Structure 1
């Protein structure tokens, strides 16, 4: 089924999750602290990460940020912090889902299946490169790039920002409501629709900084669309 890296300082909780995941056919590795987790992520290349936030030394959010600097590996935050701003921040910085402790281990496994199904299904549906002027998105590689002097320079986008960009570039000029964008790009997150505004604000800012301007348009009171006059 795939490789799952569990980053959790509660050894008993990690052992239970490993048992449930292995029963469903997953391979698992456990890291109890942040530096070990980042080393295992690079060396073992898991298909998905279950990441606790409250860890000794390096926090889960710091690990999330570090991984997102070089990888689009799906990440589910698993934490006892039931605080909406923390959940929103994790999603904004690239988490794919957020699970609150105490949890049912079976539900966590179901969320792992759901996130991987969405991730793998997107790759199967979109085996092509989207382009707009000097901007290109390789959907197979999950990579957005900007052409500069004949070479492609990668854009530093979070996984959710990339998903939103792919969805909107695939059907230029179509208007998407916030609910549609949320359902497609963060279906299991439980986040509110205003999270989409924050993700699109960050995406628009990064595109503007790269010289790609006026492509993410706000349809007042309705939603957003990608304007691609070319």
Structure 2
């Protein structure tokens, strides 16, 4: 395998063990001591998967995960000594693809890396096929001040272009294409992440939160106890 895995961990012993097992599986690896180094790497030469500790000096893993998710949906696996449910939920809400509690089996970590990479590859292929299929169809879907240029995967909100990740775009496209329809969290999770996603449906809430931050006043309404819908402007 040619995938490159970044191990962001300040414990050299854990780094060595994780690296040895990943390299045995055929992955390339790079060790990073803190999130600041990881952020520099993200800007210069990003890996295919992040294996990310939470308790890091300086910027912690939660903050790093949140910053990455503002720009990319690439796979992130959190490893942490914090095993409380609230910590796991927070990690998933911030957009991590998986959460492993220390001490963990290195073989299990490798299996989870394999799984997130397969899902990421499937997601990317699905996105490419969607883009190719859209070339022959309408290039735009819109609702009020929100316009999606589907073949170029661009978002224009109130006459300004806004950068979004692939998952953010996919969620917007679902909501805009069927404005006023309420979608359950489970339905959105399956449509955006795929049927084999094993994380919490709180990931949908996080995605909506990110979109609301990037698109102030976008009319995505919460359907309490159910999910979300995009309210059509000037509805009578």
Output the TM-score relative to the length of structure 1. Answer: 0.74
Distance (whole Å) between structure 1 residues aligned to residue 71 and residue 54 of structure 2: 20
3-state SS of 1:126 partner: helix
Number of equivalenced pairs: 218
1:135 to 135, 147, 150: 147
Distance (whole Å) between structure 1 residues aligned to residue 155 and residue 171 of structure 2: 15
Distance (whole Å) between structure 2 residues aligned to residue 102 and residue 116 of structure 1: 23
Q: CA deviation at 1:75?
A: 1.1
Which residue matches 2:155? Answer: 145
Output the TM-score relative to the length of structure 2. Answer: 0.73
Distance (whole Å) between structure 2 residues aligned to residue 139 and residue 91 of structure 1: 30
Distance (whole Å) between structure 2 residues aligned to residue 223 and residue 180 of structure 1: 9
Distance (whole Å) between structure 2 residues aligned to residue 92 and residue 20 of structure 1: 28
Which residue matches 1:81? Answer: 82
Larger Rg: 2
Residues 95 and 203 in structure 2, CA contact (< 8 A), matched pair in contact too? no
Which residue matches 1:202? Answer: 209
Distance (whole Å) between structure 2 residues aligned to residue 137 and residue 105 of structure 1: 43
Assess, with a 3 A threshold, how the Cα gap between structure 1 residues 224 and 70 changes in structure 2: closer, same or farther: closer
Structure 2, gaps ≥5 residues long: 135-139
Question: CA RMSD for the aligned pairs?
Answer: 3.5
Structure 1, gaps ≥5 residues long: none
Residues 7 and 51 in structure 2, CA contact (< 8 A), matched pair in contact too? yes
3-state SS of 2:100 partner: strand
Assess, with a 3 A threshold, how the Cα gap between structure 1 residues 111 and 167 changes in structure 2: closer, same or farther: farther
Per-residue CA deviation, residues 88-119 of structure 1 (Å, 9 max, x unaligned), is 22222222221111111111111112212222
